[in-house]
Structure 1
Amino acid sequence: MPQLSVIVYGPNAQGHLTELLDSLEAHPLSDAEVVVAAVGDWARETAEAHAPDTVVVPLPDGTTDAAARAAGAARATGRWLHFVHAKDGLPAGAPRLIAERAAELDDSVDVLLLDHLTTTWQAAARPSRDGRFLAAVGRAALPLDEAVDLLRLTPLLGNRALRREFWAAHEARLTTDDEPRAARAALLCAGRVACLNQVAYENRELRPESLPPLAPEDRFELVERYESLMPLARDRRAPRVVLYDLMMRDLVRTFAGENLPDEVAREFFRRASLAAVRWRPERHEHPAGVEGVRHALLEEGAYTKYRAFQAANRARRAARKAVRARKRQVGAKLREQQYRRALSRPVDPDLAVFAAYWERGVACNPAAIAAKLAELAPHIHPVWVVSKDNTALLPPGTDHVVPGTRRYWEVLATARYLVNNVNFPNAVVKRPDAIHLQTHHGTPLKRMGLDQIEHPAAAKGLDFDALLARIDRWDYSVSANSHSTRMWERAYPARYTSLDHGYPRNDVFYT
């Protein structure tokens, strides 16, 4: 019997199944099997084209996720089951991590919880916020009542593995197309749970516009989810309190955030109100502030009052937003005046301004130049431009300015030397007796600058006129090699002098 069955299920959504099976094939594990419950011909053909020892369970188009999971589990022989949706991914070595941790657990443990990453159609590999809950439990195996915050983990089936006998005993309750319901039901039914505080799953969120649209009435399923979960915690004070808080948070957020037709909104509010009253734990207190008012109005079933409260809040937010916008406008005008006054002052021949990677800190070629400057010309004072969030990471004693402050504009206006591995803001004026040094920070193996004009999708709305204005401020352009020099001169055509001497950040290795 293998320690782990990885059960891949679902259709080959947007071709992601290929990536998933490729990753499993690249890191085979002797103590694990792969079962693919393939929904539709594309998924079946993809699965059959992979490793010959993969068990393929062909299923017709339209098979639900719940039915596919059940079909895959029926063919699995592993001691533990890990359900992986065909759209999702597994980081390299994840099955090994899960199998090794599962081998440490006896049969009193029913659920093993894992950390995960989330990838969207816009961004890759965003860490979850679950790590702190997993770390708090450590390596212990505990009843859920002694680790109730685990209910707050992102409710995915992929970030938990289930012991096969446990699945068989609770299959009817866990076989549902509402994945969050199944994920939390597994915890509430478990005798003991354990944790693996390492990333072993990649949750891929598909673009909503690429999925079938939800009908307004589908929002009622959220109420039904908690109506089915709350009885599992009926006689357990700690899990019931946490689950109730999660329910209230989700109900309020859905009602506030969804633009539902009035008829649907009223029915959702009515059902949510009944659930809020029915399942409220004894002596349970509302949260403080606005959230507490929302909870009280929901429990009261006061739809009209809630809408009025919502409208008043929106009006207050709009008013505060208008005040902030006005303050920003006044502040921007004031800073512009201060900058213009600073430009009338003489350039300071002993002042140099450095910036790297969009004000992230002391780094890259500017850092190497600043270090050598301290040796060769110690009378020149360096000032680094660093964002507020990154100031704590600066080396002790680093003189710095935060973008947008009065001194920021003063040093930009009066510095003799301005060094950056990207570009200074459009508003910066090139003074005749100031020297701008562009160091760059990589090798141009892609299209840059004006080369992107023919590729508007890749340029993403880049303002080429503003780009050229920034380039025209450069006096010198540092180049890592002759290829880069040719690329920079074509992509960034201006009168600067190319310094084809290699990158200063690499000098330490060369010398």
Structure 2
Amino acid sequence: MPRFSIVVPSHGVAGRLSQALDSVLAQSFGEFELIPVCDGPDAPTAGVATGYAERDCRVAPVHSPPVAGRAGARDAGLRAATGDWLLFLDGDDVLVPGALAALDARLGKTGDVDVLYFEHERTPWWVGEPTNPAAPVLAGTPDGVFPPERAPELTGVRLPAWSAAYRRAFLAERHLTFPAGHFTDVGFGGLVVLSAERVAVLRQVVVRHLLRRQGSRLDLPGEHHFELLDQAELVLAQAAEQGLSGERLGPLFEQLFAAVLKTAAHPRRLPGRRRAFFRRASGLYRRYRPAGFRTPAGSLGVQHRLLASGSYLAFRALRGANQAVARAASGVPRPRGLRTRLRYRRQLRRRLDRNLAVYCAYWGRGYVCNPAAIHAKARELAPHIRSVFLVEADRAHTVPKDVEYAVIGSREYWDVLARAKYLINNADFADAVVKRRGSVHLSTQHGTPLKKMGADRATYPVAAATGGFAGLPARVDRWDYSLSANRHSTEMWERAFPAAYETLEYGCPRNDVYCTATAADVARVRGELGVPEGKRALLYAPTHRDHATGFEPGLDLQALCEEIGDEYVVLLRAHHFYDRGGARGAGRVIDVTGHHSSEDVCLAADALITDYSSIMFDYANLDRPIVVYADDWDVYRELRGVYFDLMEAPPGRVARTPGELAALLRDGSYADEEAGALRAAFRERFCEFDDGRAAERVVRRVLLGEPPEALPPVVPLAERSPAPAATTLVRS
């Protein structure tokens, strides 16, 4: 029997789950079992948990349906637990180093207490100093083992479930489980203290909790706030049944109604039924108010008295006055120029246009990438929705003639941004764009991440120096959906951009063409790019390096062509930061950096040579050879940061020097059986959802509102037929 059972509900935290599990498995004290609770066998977190279970026998995943919520997930873990002591972590939590050893030592001194409370640290994911809110709660408690009567302020309702260790036999004897619904920590914490006889405290941080930028999901608007009243009533009714002393009942009552009043005074949490919430809270207040209870001082005391008297109109007036002061102290982001600001503000007051969608790609670089693919499919499946593409003025000429566009910064640009219901981007809209209630923001992303992104860049000085951090939290908070091409992306986006959006594991729309293009399409594109007939085309696509200035190819391409033979030509595609316009030929090296479509360029290529560019994940859908040219991998990994070791799991052969690369191409080993096996494993991991129907799934779900179960299912990898390569390539 293990000393500790550690239960980790994982709903919605695929990107952070590995950190939580790693923090447990790295503990110096090893007598534990780790129980990740996943939504189901096909959930993103299930794959993460299963991988850990295969590597460590102490990891034993269980399943709980999402509809059961956090309470159901914790109860599922509780039922599976076999340890003497139970710990509950959220998926955003980590155990600090030495935590289990400290708990074991403290429990060795206290004996079989029912509950051991400890401190925890709340750490902002972006800016701000860590806080330890449990420290003042536990400060006034006795040093040794004590009954709850000796610490009446320790009611349990102000501490999360993951701020204590529970004796499993105690929970079983008292039939204590997590109350269903939201705010389950309030009910569970209160019932535990009401049932406990012997408790103790460890004045040391054991758990570090990551605070999400948008705050707790419990703070979001909705009817679930009524469940706070359910939890408060559950605890107060139990206290009344036990005949709890006035000395203990007073602090319990005050702490519960501090939470209730905070919600009642927060109109955004209860957009529709604030009066009903207040009325029910008032009834509970009068029913359970302890004899002789003295209201707090100041504004909170006024709120107590208004709640006791049921004076909703007076309470609303007080709340309105407080909000007016807050509004006066805040500002609204605005576009530049007085006339434009006034026009934008007027447009924001108009009704949303529910048949208007706005698209943008790469900060206005043109009609490209995922937004363009979704736009094209929307015109087919949702022709009633007007679609406007946003582009910079110098790129307007590249937009197809039948596509409506607006130049970034123009009056029309601000008009459509103010009124569109749907806003779709592969990067981010300007900081000044206001997220309106009822609007839908979709971040399509622009590739599977190898290098660190978003908030994860902050610890890498070179990446951090590129800027864009100041407004990142507010921009991410606008997202309603984030698109993912594979489970790896799902996990990394949730880490890099933690917010309340829903992840759509639908595939990468720009990659649809790799499953739908024909041999004629491939021949057409090769002709447009100037690939000579009968030649093998090698696409060389290096990534941008934050530590470099300007574009340097990294390879002497003319020299490479001389070494590998006349049957090859090289298509050079630099990162889009170095777009120089047009497809230009120079002997056997054709510069295709300026060609509008990276998808076309990939279709034309018989093989890909890249370093660390995300193009490798897209190109893998074609099931054609890939060579990784990694002459500076160690430098790039240290300065830019990466999510996994590409050298351990490459999509094909790896070359470290120009000579190694030339040898691979000369002898054909770049496309041999071993290269094919590496590519197959890479495709299995990263081409999971790219089956040619990603754009359709997005349009049906986001623009047409179809339920997930009605969308086209993902075609298994083995059943897909990638676009054929040119006949000059001998396929492995």
Q: Do these two structures clear the TM 0.5 threshold for a shared fold by scoring above it?
A: yes
The residue matched to 2:140 in structure 1 has which SS?
A: helix
Which residue of structure 2 lines up, in the alignment, with residue 10 of structure 1?
Answer: 10
d(CA) in 2 for partners of 1:132, 1:82: 21
1:87 lines up with 2:74 in the alignment: no
Task: Name which of 246, 249, 254 aligns with 1:240.
Answer: 249
d(CA) in 1 for partners of 2:278, 2:322: 18
The residue matched to 1:148 in structure 2 has which SS?
A: coil
Determine if contact 2:74/2:178 at 8 Å carries over to the other structure. Answer: no
| TM-score, length basis structure 1 | 0.59
Which residue of structure 2 lines up, in the alignment, with residue 45 of structure 1?
Answer: 47
Which residue of structure 2 lines up, in the alignment, with residue 217 of structure 1?
Answer: 223
Q: CA deviation at 1:308?
A: 2.9
The residue matched to 1:49 in structure 2 has which SS?
A: helix
Task: Name which of 109, 132, 141 aligns with 1:128.
Answer: 132
Determine if contact 1:119/1:205 at 8 Å carries over to the other structure. Answer: yes
The residue matched to 1:137 in structure 2 has which SS?
A: coil
Bigger mean CA deviation after superposition, 186-195 or 21-30: 21-30
Which residue of structure 2 lines up, in the alignment, with residue 182 of structure 1?
Answer: 188
Q: CA deviation at 1:242?
A: 0.6
Q: CA deviation at 1:173?
A: 4.5
Determine if contact 1:176/1:182 at 8 Å carries over to the other structure. Answer: no
CA separation of 1:318 and 1:132: change in aligned 2, threshold 3 A:
closer
Q: CA deviation at 1:314?
A: 5.5
CA separation of 1:315 and 1:120: change in aligned 2, threshold 3 A:
closer
Which residue of structure 1 lines up, in the alignment, with residue 120 of structure 2?
Answer: 116
d(CA) in 1 for partners of 2:149, 2:215: 39
Which residue of structure 2 lines up, in the alignment, with residue 57 of structure 1?
Answer: 61
What are the equivalent positions in structure 2 for 1:105-184 lying under 5 Å apart?
Answer: 105-107=110-112, 109-123=113-127, 126-151=130-155, 154-177=158-181, 178-184=184-190
The residue matched to 2:118 in structure 1 has which SS?
A: strand
Task: Name which of 457, 475, 497 aligns with 2:468.
Answer: 457
Task: Name which of 76, 97, 101 aligns with 1:96.
Answer: 101
CA separation of 1:237 and 1:445: change in aligned 2, threshold 3 A:
closer
What are the equivalent positions in structure 2 for 1:396-435 lying under 5 Å apart?
Answer: none
Letter in 2 for 1:93: G
Q: CA deviation at 1:447?
A: 4.3
Letter in 2 for 1:45: G
Letter in 2 for 1:65: R
d(CA) in 1 for partners of 2:178, 2:233: 15
CA separation of 1:188 and 1:313: change in aligned 2, threshold 3 A:
same
Task: Name which of 185, 190, 197 aligns with 1:191.
Answer: 197
1:43-77 deviation digits (Å, cap 9, x = unpaired): 23222322422242331552532222222222222
Letter in 1 for 2:38: A
d(CA) in 2 for partners of 1:260, 1:286: 25
Determine if contact 1:110/1:191 at 8 Å carries over to the other structure. Answer: yes
Q: CA deviation at 1:215?
A: 5.0
1:156-189 deviation digits (Å, cap 9, x = unpaired): 1110111011111234553534222212221222
Determine if contact 2:156/2:193 at 8 Å carries over to the other structure. Answer: no
Which residue of structure 2 lines up, in the alignment, with residue 438 of structure 1?
Answer: none
d(CA) in 2 for partners of 1:168, 1:22: 29
Determine if contact 2:64/2:76 at 8 Å carries over to the other structure. Answer: no
Which residue of structure 2 lines up, in the alignment, with residue 72 of structure 1?
Answer: 77
Letter in 2 for 1:225: Q
Task: Name which of 277, 280, 288 aligns with 1:271.
Answer: 280
Equivalent pairs, count: 337
1:298-344 deviation digits (Å, cap 9, x = unpaired): 1111111222344455667889x79xxxxxxxxxxxxxxxxxxxxxx
C-alpha root-mean-square deviation of aligned residues, in Å?
3.3
Which residue of structure 1 lines up, in the alignment, with residue 234 of structure 2?
Answer: 228
The residue matched to 1:6 in structure 2 has which SS?
A: strand
Which residue of structure 2 lines up, in the alignment, with residue 258 of structure 1?
Answer: 267
Structure 2: tracts of 5 or more residues without a match: 331-458, 473-548, 550-732
Which residue of structure 2 lines up, in the alignment, with residue 392 of structure 1?
Answer: none
Bigger mean CA deviation after superposition, 271-280 or 243-252: 243-252
1:33 lines up with 2:33 in the alignment: yes
d(CA) in 2 for partners of 1:132, 1:299: 29
Letter in 2 for 1:101: R
d(CA) in 1 for partners of 2:226, 2:164: 26
Determine if contact 1:57/1:71 at 8 Å carries over to the other structure. Answer: no
Which residue of structure 1 lines up, in the alignment, with residue 295 of structure 2?
Answer: 286
The residue matched to 2:189 in structure 1 has which SS?
A: helix
CA separation of 1:25 and 1:61: change in aligned 2, threshold 3 A:
same
Determine if contact 2:37/2:74 at 8 Å carries over to the other structure. Answer: yes
d(CA) in 1 for partners of 2:132, 2:215: 23
The residue matched to 2:268 in structure 1 has which SS?
A: coil
The residue matched to 1:97 in structure 2 has which SS?
A: helix
CA separation of 1:266 and 1:169: change in aligned 2, threshold 3 A:
same
Determine if contact 2:37/2:61 at 8 Å carries over to the other structure. Answer: yes
The residue matched to 1:119 in structure 2 has which SS?
A: strand
CA separation of 1:64 and 1:460: change in aligned 2, threshold 3 A:
closer
Determine if contact 1:6/1:35 at 8 Å carries over to the other structure. Answer: yes
d(CA) in 2 for partners of 1:298, 1:152: 24
1:438-496 deviation digits (Å, cap 9, x = unpaired): xxxxxx98349xx95xx3414769xxxxxxxxxxxxxxxxxxxxxxxxxxxx9xxxxxx
| Bigger helix fraction | 1
Determine if contact 2:156/2:190 at 8 Å carries over to the other structure. Answer: no
1:345-365 deviation digits (Å, cap 9, x = unpaired): xxxxxxxxxxxxxxxxxxxxx
Q: CA deviation at 1:232?
A: 2.7
Determine if contact 1:11/1:40 at 8 Å carries over to the other structure. Answer: no
The residue matched to 1:34 in structure 2 has which SS?
A: strand
Determine if contact 2:115/2:199 at 8 Å carries over to the other structure. Answer: yes
d(CA) in 1 for partners of 2:132, 2:179: 25
d(CA) in 1 for partners of 2:170, 2:90: 20
The residue matched to 2:210 in structure 1 has which SS?
A: strand
The residue matched to 2:38 in structure 1 has which SS?
A: strand
CA separation of 1:264 and 1:446: change in aligned 2, threshold 3 A:
same
CA separation of 1:151 and 1:302: change in aligned 2, threshold 3 A:
same
CA separation of 1:213 and 1:272: change in aligned 2, threshold 3 A:
closer
The residue matched to 1:118 in structure 2 has which SS?
A: strand
d(CA) in 1 for partners of 2:309, 2:272: 19
Letter in 2 for 1:176: A
CA separation of 1:25 and 1:101: change in aligned 2, threshold 3 A:
same
d(CA) in 1 for partners of 2:228, 2:216: 22
Q: CA deviation at 1:282?
A: 0.5
Structure 1: tracts of 5 or more residues without a match: 323-443, 462-489, 491-511
CA separation of 1:22 and 1:268: change in aligned 2, threshold 3 A:
same
d(CA) in 2 for partners of 1:122, 1:167: 37
The residue matched to 2:180 in structure 1 has which SS?
A: coil
Q: CA deviation at 1:125?
A: 6.6
Which residue of structure 2 lines up, in the alignment, with residue 398 of structure 1?
Answer: none
1:397-443 deviation digits (Å, cap 9, x = unpaired): xxxxxxxxxxxxxxxxxxxxxxxxxxxxxxxxxxxxxxxxxxxxxxx
d(CA) in 2 for partners of 1:304, 1:144: 39
Determine if contact 1:174/1:185 at 8 Å carries over to the other structure. Answer: no
Determine if contact 1:152/1:246 at 8 Å carries over to the other structure. Answer: no
Letter in 1 for 2:222: P
| TM-score, length basis structure 2 | 0.42
CA separation of 1:267 and 1:163: change in aligned 2, threshold 3 A:
same
Determine if contact 1:130/1:153 at 8 Å carries over to the other structure. Answer: no
